[in-house]
Amino acid sequence: MGKVKSSVMEQEDLFYTRADTIIKSCEYETEAVNTVIVLAEEMNLLSYLGGYDVVEDMVCDAWYDIQTSHVGWHILYMCYY
The per-residue pLDDT for 70 is: 63
- Three-class DSSP category at 63: helix
Kindly report the pTM of this predicted structure: 0.80
Interatomic CA distance for residues 81 and 73, integer angstroms: 12
Instruction: Provide mean pLDDT across the span 1-26.
Output: 89
pLDDT tens digits, 29-80: 999 999 999 999 999 999 999 999 999 999 999 999 988 886 554 444 445 4
DSSP notation for 17-71: HHHHHHHHH-SSHHHHHHHHHHHHHHTT-TTTTT-HHHHHHHHHHHHHHHHHHHH
Interatomic CA distance for residues 19 and 31, integer angstroms: 12
